[in-house]
Amino acid sequence: MSNVDTFVIVPTYNEADNLDDLITQLLALPAPLGVIVVDDNSPDGTGQMADAWATAEPERVHVIHRPDKMGLGTAYIAGFQKALHELAAKRIMTMDADFSHNPRYIPDMLAMSEYKHLVIGSRYVPGGGSLNCTWKRVWLSRMANMVARGLLGLKARDTTAGFRLYRREVLASIPLESIFSSGYSFLVEMLFMCQRRGWQIGEVPILFEDRRKGQTKISRQEILKAQYTVLRLFLRRLRRKEPRQPTVPVSRYDNSLL
Ligand SMILES: Nc1nc2c(ncn2[C@@H]2O[C@H](COP(=O)(O)OP(=O)(O)O)[C@@H](O)[C@H]2O)c(=O)[nH]1
Ligand SMILES: [Mg+2]
């Protein structure tokens, strides 16, 4: 399929139990999607599984190998660079490999991206929610959202969601190399930059399911780093370092030109 114009970036660290099923489901969607797996030398062989996919589906599956576990944020950036500069993507998605973000919501997200610059697969809009999550995880996510919205003025309801769809112009407008978070708080920092630039942001309700296979990579250290990120962004907001720009109108993608 040479009309692949949307790439899904899937960062992986020890996701061998999930990767084959995920890629199978993504490629089966009725949309011209490609996948970029960003693997950090997973000891469980996830990177080799991804390579087998890239050999079988060279147009649609791409792999970036990094030598060590270097964090979620930098994995997204590596994927963004490849999608923007090597694969000429028009839309770029991010999602977890663990089925917390179910591929079945992607068609709704793509539809919304016709009139929003950034679409979030959101737990906190009507119709969305969390399934099978521990109270600790639910509480952590609620608190993080409250703080991010309160201190940073973010308007989205689910500010920490990793299930996102960016239009190309959004990512192209952001100096990716200057983003300082390397881990999970990258998501909040990125959303802050998008909102400040006036891009229009929409949310599609999703049911977030806690992973069934493998283990979470969120650590106490990541949570501390996230608090530091929010504080840093809050100070930047106070100092008006990141200027707030007027809302940018959305123009429809004309796919007939492809
Ligand atoms: N490449 C890469 N992927 C990561 C890293 N940390 C987490 N991931 C992946 O990022 C996604 C989200 O991580 P996960 O453990 O599910 O976080 P949680 O859903 O917040 O518990 C999963 O697909 C992980 O395999 C990392 O340092 N590097
Ligand atoms: Mg997860």
pLDDT tens, residue by residue, 152-206: 999 999 999 999 999 999 999 999 999 988 888 999 999 999 999 999 999 999 9
Q: Is residue 196 within 6 Å of ligand 1 at its C-beta?
A: no
For residues 149-172, b (16+ Cβ closer than 10 Å) or e, as one string? bebbebebbbbbbbbbbbbbebbe
Q: Do 151 and 105 touch, CB atoms closer than 8 A? A: no
Could you give the CA distance from residue 191 to residue 185 in angstroms, rounded to a whole number? 10
pLDDT at position 81: 98
pLDDT at position 105: 98
Domains with residue ranges and CATH for the chain: 6-242 (3.90.550.10)
Q: Tell which one of 22, 94, 182, 217 to mutate to probe ligand 1, the residue whose CB is within 8 A of the most ligand atoms.
A: 217
Share of the chain above pLDDT 70, in %: 97
pLDDT at position 184: 83
pLDDT of 243 higher than 70: yes
Nearest atom of ligand 1 to the alpha carbon of 69: 27
pLDDT of 68 higher than 70: yes
Give the distance between the most distant pair of CA atoms in the chain: 51
Q: Do 171 and 76 touch, CB atoms closer than 8 A? A: no
Q: Tell me the backbone φ, ψ of residue 60, rounded to 5 degrees.
A: -105, -20
Nearest CA owner, ligand 1 atom 19? 216
How large is the average pLDDT for residues 104-118? 97
The alpha-carbon radius of gyration of the chain (Å, integer) is: 17
pLDDT at position 106: 98
Q: Is residue 13 within 6 Å of ligand 1 at its C-beta?
A: yes
Share of the chain above pLDDT 90, in %: 82
Find the ligand nearest to 216 CA: 1
pLDDT at position 212: 81
pLDDT of 2 higher than 70: no
pLDDT of 250 higher than 70: yes
Greater model confidence, 87 or 258: 87
Distance 123 CA to ligand 1 centre (A): 18
Adjacent-strand bridge partners of 209: 131
Question: For the chain, what is the mean pLDDT?
Answer: 94
pLDDT of 113 higher than 60: yes
Nearest CA owner, ligand 1 atom 9? 12
Instruction: Quote the pTM value.
Output: 0.95
Please report which confidence band the pLDDT of residue 6 belongs to, taking 50, 70 and 90 as the band edges. Answer: very high
For residue 182, the SS3 value is coil
How large is the average pLDDT for residues 84-107? 97
Nearest atom of ligand 1 to the alpha carbon of 10: 23
How large is the average pLDDT for residues 116-129? 98
Nearest CA owner, ligand 1 atom 6? 72
Q: Is residue 71 within 6 Å of ligand 1 at its C-beta?
A: yes
Distance 15 CA to ligand 1 centre (A): 9
Please report which confidence band the pLDDT of residue 244 belongs to, taking 50, 70 and 90 as the band edges. Answer: confident
pLDDT at position 57: 98
Distance 239 CA to ligand 2 centre (A): 34
